[in-house]
Every structure is written in C-alpha cells, then in structure tokens.
Amino acid sequence: MEHRPLGRTGIQVSQLCLGTMMLGAGGNPDHEDGARIIHRALDSGINFLDTADAYGESEDVVGKALKRRRDDVVLATKLGLALDEDPNHRGTSRRWVAQAVERSLRRLQTDHIDLYQVHRLDPATGLDETLGALSDLVRAGKVRAIGVSNASGSELVEANWIADRRGHERFATDQPPYSLLTRAIEYDVLPTAQRSGTGVLTYRPLEAGWLSGRFRKGRDVPPSGSQARRERFAAALDPSNPANGVKLDATEALAQLAEQAGLTLVQLATAFPLRHPAVTSVIVGPRTMEHLEGYLAADSVELSEDVLDRIDEIVPPGHTVNVADNMWHTSTTALESTTRRRPAR
C-alpha cells in the first residue's frame, strides 16, 4: 500500500486510514470482531487508525486491539464534541484538553497519541488558548502532532498565523468530508492545504452509504444493518428530501460509470479522493469485515483522465449535490447560507 507524508511531521501514513467510528456500540458491538477488522487492516498494509472520544466504545476497542501492535500504528484520535451533560466536558478549553487527553490515553492503553485532533473548532475558546494547550501536550510527550477537523481554508490560515506569532504548534492536518458527491473542499481547503503543507485526511468517501452500491434508481433500498447508523444519518438517507432525489440521480450515473470502467462503485468512490494531490489519506469506516474488504479492493485502482472527466460531468469540481453534506452546520457555520446573508453580530 502506498504511504504518504502526514503534512510536514515527517511521519509516513498509508493512503487508506482505518476509521473506527463504527466499531463498538455505535455500529458493531462485538469487540472481538472489531479487533479482527483492525488486525486485518494492519495486515493489509494500513498503518493509520483514526478514532475519537465521541465515538462511544471505539477508543476502547482500538486500545484492546493494539496491545501488541501499538508501535506499528500511527494512532489518531479527536476531542471536542460533547460527551455528556456536563458543559465542561466538551470544547477545547485548556481545562478540558488536559482532562480529555488523559481519558483517551487510558482508553487507548498507550502513553502517547500520534495525531491529536480538534473535532470541531470551538467558538467559545480562542484559537490561541486551544493551540497553546495542545502545544503543551506535544512538549510533554503525550502527543506527537496536532490536527483539526472540518476547518475551512480561512480557518487554517488563521490558525497558522496565530501559531507562528505565538510560538505554538501548527495544525499538521485537516479532516474534511470529501466524496464524488461532496466536492466543496476543492474550492479552498485543498488549495490552502497544498500551499501550507497541511495534510488532508478526508472522510465519508461513500457519503453515508449513498456510494456503497445500495442506492440505485428503481430499486428498493435495504435498511442498514445498524440501528445506530440509521439514526445518525436519518436526514442524509431520508428519501422524501428533494435534495436526496437529486443525489440519487447523480449516484445512478456514477454507478453506471463504475460499471463501464470495470469497477465497483465502492472502488470508484474510494479511489476518487485519493487521486487529488492534496489528499494524504482517505478514512474508511467499515462496520464488518466484508465492508473492509470492499475498501481494500480500491487500494490499487487508478482512475484514467477519461473517467475523471466523466465524473466532472456528473458532479462538477467544487460542487456538492446536497449542501448539507458539507457539514458546515456542525463546524464552519459562517459558511451556512443564513449566516452568509445575515452575519452574526
């Protein structure tokens, strides 16, 4: 499997990253099966795992599975989302950063985290405070590098400006959504990352299942095997949503293109973000061993210029079929249409 530099950290990571959100009660509750999925990923050449404290039991599953293989893995996790009703058990205050990292280290059964990411930039905490707290973890040896998730291009620039002037660590990576159906980051995040040397770890290559091959025009869609997943992506999978009707048209065209190219739709969807030169690694999130094998089959796929041109005809560069899939409502709210029209005072 191809390995790529993780930003400017000097660390090399596999072009596929094993996302473990679906391992544990939120997806696959069998911890032993979760461990088998992790070991199969590592045996295939994946050396990069991504989890988060907000993913339920995921960190526990990962910690158990890596007991004897920790040194072989570049381990990433995240903090910042609300974990319970306590208003201080969320965000990126110095107080919570110091507590959250200890909790993650304990669950992961390790003495350090290779990439510690802010799950969402916290509007209640200044970036100077957040970067300072995270930089202290690097100096203490508990964290090797820091990153952010769902940051816009302008937020990456602002964070770098503050880090350079205050002597803090820079965010080494950004983790945005990117798929055949969700291409907004091609406008500013990817060009900004290339200029600044920021690694990009993209997630949702199958767009919450839309690009799994299950959604085809004229066919009934079988329910997902996970109740937690159905609840998590209820809006994204709602067939009564007009935006999802447009998404189905695009999905059907992409599925036909995959067939003509001799690929599965999963292979086409996984290979597409890997083709962009600014992308470091694509996070794949299997719930079962079968799902993992489908992702692994995309590892060596090369997309021709003709196939890429035909993709652009179906979903133009920089365009997202359903703007909600950009995840702006959970992170970069300044990009939401109502905020752009009437900026917060």
Active site residues per annotation: 55
- What is the bridge-based pairing of β-strands 12-14 and 171-175? unpaired
Per the CB < 8 A criterion, the answer to whether 308 and 241 are in contact is no
What are the residues whose beta carbons fall under 8 Å from the beta carbon of 331, sequence distance 6 or more? 120, 121, 149, 150, 151
Dist CA 276 CA 257 (whole Å):
19
Listed in sequence order, the DSSP H helices in the chain are 31-43, 58-65, 94-108, 127-139, 153-166, 189-196, 227-232, 242-260, 265-274, 289-296, 305-314, 337-341
**At 28, phi and psi to the nearest 5?**
-105, 105
Phi-psi map region of 39: left, alpha, beta (phi>0 left; psi -120 to 50 alpha) = alpha
User: What is the distance between the alpha carbons of residues 21 and 57, in angstroms, rounded to a whole number?
Assistant: 9
Determine how β-strand 74-79 pairs with β-strand 48-50: parallel
Distance CA 108, CA 142 (A): 12
* SS3 state at 120: coil
**Rounded to 5 degrees, what angle do the CA atoms 93, 103, 95 make?**
20
